[in-house]
Copies of this chain bind each other. A is one copy, B any other.
């Protein structure tokens, strides 16, 4: 079985990563992904760098964004001649044996012998980098093509982790962390990572897919700390980015574990979320949503979701819709994210406004909601506030009326003064009496307009008393409530604006 399966790693051209995408909408994502296929990080060339140079690099953080180099996919036979002569005789023999061996099962056996050699007490650690160069060269075929089997079953998963390189992972999983060999193997992986950064997400995959690694996901943190990056967050982001560029299916497969295993690194990371929503198609979005609803995936937490949604406002349309769909699959109360309204500009953020509008319309308005909605600046083209007020006016007449009355009273007794800063949500809301009244006027005009079926001929100021005959409960109560307040407060009506017809 293994024999049938693995020869392809030595001589087949790299099959393109399976990127199932909606042809049309995600066209440019598609390109984006395909272009970077088989891309390498810039330091892949640094195979000749000596130990000293690497030590110098150790402290520095590698730049987060990759600059992929386009590589011709020519499967040259592995050439390890520059390195192999620098190895001790025993190790050299094993490496050459590994090179000759075309049977994967046999390769695994030889690889285990190499690992055993490394773990011997008298192993000369000076050789580690050279060995890593040999292995990176010998295994380069393993890092092309799909990692994840097409059909995911226990058996196919187990089979997919039967590669020589996975033997290092397996040995690591079987060790106690205080075993001296543990850090030796980590050093070995760190060296390999320098030559072949894809090993990072291959390790993540192994930890998730292999039975032998059950419950050992945290091992990745030790790995990250052992690398030149030296830091879990950076390493995880780089590996997920590399995975995103190589294989979107794998990215989706890893996502639930990554989020549950490393919540501190993931739940506050707009970057990671954007990596995901930038490349998934609607099928993968649906799968992730199901994972969320089945309790296998938590992508948002109450304390950080607002911040992430605000970050998402700069993303592309489909990325934003996907983000909102994922958010809505969670059971996070809407109040948590309503303050986002203060950041939403009518012309710049239609995606978020649409999603929020559909959520607000399902809620019974709270005073905070009404306040947030009324806090939006009045702009003749921005019909968000009128839309939601109208909906609430029809559906929750009394509640809306009470909240508006309360807000009118508060904002009259505190004229021009900012609301207290006690709740973070009201920090930015500058609600003035004039603004409330202008929104209410817009609402009144809309109600008269649609009830009286004037067919678009509204662009004239309607006197305060003309709201009486409209006959809608809300209209006659709340609309005129506002009118009465205007009289009481001596506020002049907003200027006559020519409104667009509908």
Q: Which residues of A line the B interface, CB within 8 A?
A: 22-29, 152-155, 157, 208-209, 211, 214-215, 256-257, 281-283, 285-287, 289-291, 293-297, 316-318, 321, 325, 328-329, 347, 350-351, 353-354, 357-358, 361-362, 383-384, 386-388, 390-391, 446, 449-450, 455-457, 459, 498, 500-502
Contacts and interface: CB of A to CB of B under 8 A. Distances in A.
Nearest to A293: B387
B294 A498 contact: no
Given A293-B391, A501-B152, A354 B25 contact: no
Contacts of A329: 357-358, 361
Contacts of A215: 455
A351 B22 CA distance: 11
Prevailing SS type, chain A contact patch: helix
A27 B31 CA distance: 12
Given A153-B498, A362-B362, 19 more contacts: A23-B316, A24-B317, A24-B318, A25-B316, A152-B501, A154-B459, A208-B501, A214-B457, A215-B455, A281-B350, A282-B350, A283-B347, A285-B350, A286-B354, A287-B383, A290-B357, A293-B388, A317-B318, A328-B358
How many protomers of this protein does the assembly include? 2
A24 B317 CA distance: 8
Given A25-B318, A214-B457, A215-B455, A351 B282 contact: yes
Given A27-B27, A316-B25, A501 B157 contact: yes
A78 to B, nearest CB: 33
Contacts of A449: 296
Contacts of A152: 500-501
Nearest to A354: B286
B293 A361 contact: yes
16 contacts: A152-B500, A152-B501, A153-B500, A154-B459, A208-B456, A214-B455, A283-B347, A285-B354, A286-B353, A289-B387, A293-B391, A294-B502, A295-B450, A296-B449, A329-B358, A362-B362
A23 to B, nearest CB: 8
Given A27-B28, A358-B328, A257 B294 contact: no
B391 A350 contact: no
A286 B293 CA distance: 27
Contacts of A500: 152-153
Nearest to A282: B350
A293 B357 contact: yes
10 cross-chain pairs, A with B, having the tightest CB-CB distances, nearest first:
A286-B350, A296-B502, A295-B450, A293-B387, A290-B383, A282-B350, A22-B317, A283-B350, A25-B317, A153-B498
